[in-house]
Structure 1
């Protein structure tokens, strides 16, 4: 049994957007870029972050509504470990857009968030330097945790594929 195609698509799209966010974050930190270029990078980063938030909410709703394939490994510790990593990934994917929006909202210099240039997203709170600094730190730390959990997730997938050969990866792909 495979995951539902909508969940598969959201899984891979989310991964693609997170990889793009990593690249954008590195480019945003380049102080040699002109202000207009950096502004556009920040706007794109914020727009993609909000899109990730929508994808996460949609994925959670679909996970509640659609049946999951049965576990490939019946051992309780393996199901617990997989659930902990997946839960951690979901928490990180929810926390990143939230801490990002709180950081932007609390920033000492108020710059609007223009969702792909279509409309302005209202700030959640007013300017507050302490909150801004705390959210900036949290945003960076949650991203670091997301990378660690993502690597654990990837390692487990590779182990299933290369050692156990139990077809786990095929369940999260469109064909195979």
Structure 2
């Protein structure tokens, strides 16, 4: 689940880190390493269960590999050697986003290479979405508003248990 439709997991971790570290001299400090662990190994363990082998690049373990374009993350302004090794994770969480992802391996298979999916035909999906949206009647905004108003109580009822 993400904050919006762009599925930018690195940005979600940055938001969690920022929100966890509220301003103030007496506020607790949550480290970048803690957020990173929560967003990777520990978060997967919560989702998949404690008995699932996670977090190791080893036969039989479920470990994904995400490779970023470090030069793009760092930016043209950063000199060689910046940031210092001790600050790499903080720098990564502050700067990296989904546009920096170059390659992704899932269960030993490359699913993203050079930023492109090898599993799905994104051009075909994009065209299918455009076709479906073209079929919708978006020329009558008042009717769309009436439909949304009519559906609202049902949606509120359906999602009411989320707040319990």
User: What's the TM-score, normalizing by structure 2?
Assistant: 0.25
Q: Which has the higher helix share?
A: 1
Structure with the larger RCO, 1 or 2 (CA within 8 Å, 6+ apart): 1
Structure with bigger gyration radius: 2
Structure with the bigger percentage of strand? 2
